[in-house]
Amino acid sequence: MYQLYYYPSNASLAPHMLLEEIGAPFELRLVDRAQNAHKHADYLKLNPTGRIPALLDGELTLFESAAICLHLAERHEQAQLLPPAGSAERAHCYKWLMYLTNTLQAEILTYFYPERLCDDAAATAQVKAHAEARIGDMLALLDAELADGRTWLLGEQYRLVDPYLGMLCRWTRGFTRPARSFVHLGPYLQRLLTRPAVVRALRSEGLPEPWV
């Protein structure tokens, strides 16, 4: 059985939503950030970066949420969370997943942890403000992608990039211009919230509404 090491609303949320979508048996293991458990030796054996999440799949231990999502989608091909191998849609899936994980997610982390990048309060506030503006541009790009009326990020089929994008959009809910306020992203997020698997994951992490 899979074991997902998680903390509510952390980067474990996308793999969690995928596990629910797939319907495979899994256990959630709380990594108690309040106790700094993600920096403890036991957890560092699973994820030496000291970050959340980690996934155990039998003998396999995996970290990096995007890698975990790809692994789960490949292990459960029948769920069709990845487009057919070699197709143009698969290439777009890789493109957006990379963009989400190494561009948008990285910038959101800068927004939440600006003090890691500079020393004084004024600089910290500036880094945060710049990150928020840059995230706004990134959300605008994603919003434009949805402008042709497609249901999901890659078209009419729900794919692994959708819960991933949903997780990142959720993280912007306290922004001046949150993802939900964008003309196409707003309804897209509402569609995501109609999926029972998404709702089950949000509820079981104990996250209060509104979710986005």
Ligand X SMILES: N[C@@H](CCC(=O)N[C@@H](CS)C(=O)NCC(=O)O)C(=O)O
Positions touching ligand X (CB under 6 A) are 10-11, 38, 50-53, 64-65, 101, 109
- Of 51 and 159, which has the nearer Cβ to ligand X? 51
User: What six digits make up the tokens of 116?
Assistant: 């890691």
3-state secondary structure of 22: helix
Which single residue is written with the structure tokens 């474990």? 12
- Nearest Cα neighbor of 205 from 93, 70, 94, 52 is 52
Give CA–CA dist 45/11, Å, rounded: 18
- Of 38 and 180, which has the nearer Cβ to ligand X? 38
Q: How far is the CB of 54 from ligand X (least distance, A)?
A: 9
Q: How far is the CB of 120 from ligand X (least distance, A)?
A: 21
- Of 12 and 178, which has the nearer Cβ to ligand X? 12
Angle at alpha carbon of residue 15, lines to 104 and 27, rounded to 5°: 150
Q: How far is the CB of 183 from ligand X (least distance, A)?
A: 27
Q: How far is the CB of 37 from ligand X (least distance, A)?
A: 11
CA dihedral 63, 161, 79, 92 (to 10 degrees): -110
- Of 23 and 50, which has the nearer Cβ to ligand X? 50
- Of 49 and 204, which has the nearer Cβ to ligand X? 49
Q: How far is the CB of 53 from ligand X (least distance, A)?
A: 6
* Element spanning 54, H or E: strand 54-57
Under DSSP, the state recorded for 119 is: S
User: What six digits make up the tokens of 78?
Assistant: 């029948």
* Element spanning 35, H or E: none
